[in-house]
Amino acid sequence: MTSTYQMGVSTDRIRGSPGLNLDHLECCICHEILWKPVACQSCETPFCSACIRQWLNEYPTQCPNRCQAYNERKCPPFVAKVLSQLKVACIYDSNGCEEIISYEALDKHEIECGFQLHRCSGCQSEILKKDSDNHEINCEAIEIVCPDCKIVYKRGDATKIHTETVCLKEQLRQLRNESKENKREIHELNLQLHEMRLLSPWIKEMKITFDDLPLATDETKRMPIVYRGLKWNNMKYGYELYLSKKHPKSGYINCFIPGSSPNIAFFKDDVSFGVVTRNDSITFYSLTACAAWNDDLQLTIAGYRGSMEINKHAVTLLFGKPQFILLNWKDVEKIILKSAGGTAHPDSGGLSATHVILTQITIGPAD
């Protein structure tokens, strides 16, 4: 702890100041030598800045000398002049610092002093600041991140945990995962291209992107019961700016693409949508979905005609990575979506939930 954070400077630290009456430099609150002093405008009594702040927390308008009101002013010039003549031992003298510093230079010295103690981030030992760089270069408990494979290990465990073989295997595993992700994205693009070929030139009329819903700028809202000719149950929607502020660590953030709809739909656990009039039917072409909080979230999609389930599809959703799902189900009356499982994504702030985000649904009339 430096003098910067103390109430006052102990008289025991004053060196070589003969002829100075230290009693006149004493703070009447902490009874130590004034540190960064200010004064009461009425009685001109000086106090340590930290002392008077603490006093005013308990007695907001009252001067310690019982003045009618405390109004702050600068320390009287004669007090500041006498303080400037003091020579003070560094607060880290017990750690080996032998510097005697002028009062005015004390703050800067103690912030930079090499004899203050720093805690090693590895072994948690207290090390002198001047020795800390050398210590941490050699400390076996310091964690190191390999720039190639990104494995985190302690320096002392390098020969066990981070051998060259382990490093190469981890790099290979990561490359395989990247390859899988690239293949998944290519597959998604191929599916979307296939759908566009199937549905063109009617796709604009058939694709629901929720862009024409009223903006929900200060909260999420329930989907209207009837929207775009369909009946909706348990679906909600949200606006890009609101969700970005409210849930900055969620998968919602990755679902908004510049120039696309400012709204997304979402649900938790289960939702349904379908025809408004009984005996009507639709063709359910596709939807694009991702997980808002979890990795490996399971989504089950079922198509119904009356009370009979006629189609079913299960898919694993990823956190914040919209996935295009091509179905092309014909002559269905209702769609039920159910979500379950998964584990909290590392970047989601520890929150685990089964929310599913929908960025588009494409439907059309029954053939």
User: Which pLDDT does position 362 carry in this prediction?
Assistant: 92
Task: Please indicate, yes or no, whether the overall pTM of this predicted structure exceeds 0.85.
Answer: no
> For residue range 88-125, what is the model confidence (pLDDT) as tens digits?
999 999 999 999 999 999 999 999 999 999 999 889 99
Residues in the chain: 367
Identify the helix (H) or strand (E) that includes residue 125. none
User: Which pLDDT does position 192 carry in this prediction?
Assistant: 67
Instruction: Tell me: cis bond preceding 18? Omega within 30 of 0 counts.
Output: no
Q: CB of 239 within 8 A of CB of 218?
A: no
Report the C-alpha gap between 77 and 46 in whole angstroms.
11
Question: Worst-scoring range by mean pLDDT, 1-15, 294-308, 349-363?
Answer: 1-15
Distance separating the N- and C-terminal Cα atoms of the chain:
79
User: Which pLDDT does position 1 carry in this prediction?
Assistant: 47
Q: Which residue has the higher pLDDT, 196 or 350?
A: 350
> For residue range 250-297, what is the model confidence (pLDDT) as tens digits?
999 989 887 889 999 999 999 999 999 988 999 999 999 999 999 999
Residue 354 has pLDDT above 50, yes or no: yes
DSSP string, 80-105: HHHHHT-EEE-TTGGGT---EEEGGG
Domains of the chain: 3-117 (3.30.40.10), 201-365 (2.60.120.1350)
> For residue range 289-326, what is the model confidence (pLDDT) as tens digits?
999 999 999 999 999 999 999 999 999 999 999 999 98
Sign of CA dihedral 7, 10, 13, 18: positive
**Residue 337 region, left (φ>0) first, then alpha (ψ -120 to 50), else beta?**
beta
Q: Over pLDDT 70: what percentage of the chain?
A: 94
* pLDDT bucket at 345, cuts 50 / 70 / 90: very high
Report the C-alpha gap between 153 and 100 in whole angstroms.
43
* pLDDT bucket at 3, cuts 50 / 70 / 90: low
